[in-house]
Amino acid sequence: MNLSKNFTLAELTATSSHLPNVPSEKEITNLTALVQNVLQPARDLLGKPIHVTSGFRSIAVNKEQGGTMKPLSQHCFGEAVDLEVIDNAALFHLICTHLPYDQLIWEGGNELQPDWIHVSYKAFRNRKQVLRMTVVKGKKKYSVIS
């Protein structure tokens, strides 16, 4: 099922886990809003394919993969995706400058490039939060950039 010109439901729900990972109708609605408001516009502005490394996660999959449980990750609501392209920093700045989002996270990496990008979108009350995740003594630490 296509959620937009370049993104399918299959790639937004793909997982390496063997646990069930089937979104509800509400979660598909959220994924569709995320794709249509953020991912597809980002793809169009970038002019290159964007690789979704993790989209929807059932609670079981999120737990298995060490995702945030308290509060529950936005991946579990179909509101968040992890993205990778050749130049992650360029995609990060493009989303930050031109597109709506709830949270945009520079995940790992260094000052020049994040290892990947996390972006979330909600139908209402997007916080427009920009964060950076670093790993400190094996634990993920989030700091607010803006």
| Residue ranges that bind Zn ion, judged by CB under 5 A | 82, 118
| Listed residue (40, 145, 20, 19) closest to 100, CA to CA | 40
Among residues 118 and 122, whose Cβ is nearest to Zn ion? 118
Residue number with the smallest Cβ distance to Zn ion: 118
Count of residues making up the chain: 146
Q: How far is the CB of 79 from Zn ion (least distance, A)?
A: 10
Which DSSP helix (H) or strand (E) runs through 134?
strand 129-136
Q: How far is the CB of 18 from Zn ion (least distance, A)?
A: 20
Q: How far is the CB of 133 from Zn ion (least distance, A)?
A: 9
Among residues 41 and 67, whose Cβ is nearest to Zn ion? 67
Residue 9 backbone phi and psi in degrees, to 5:
-60, -35
Q: Do 31 and 23 touch, CB atoms closer than 8 A?
A: yes
Rounded Cα gap, residues 41 and 35, in angstroms: 8
Q: How far is the CB of 2 from Zn ion (least distance, A)?
A: 23
Q: Decide: helix, strand or coil at residue 119.
A: strand
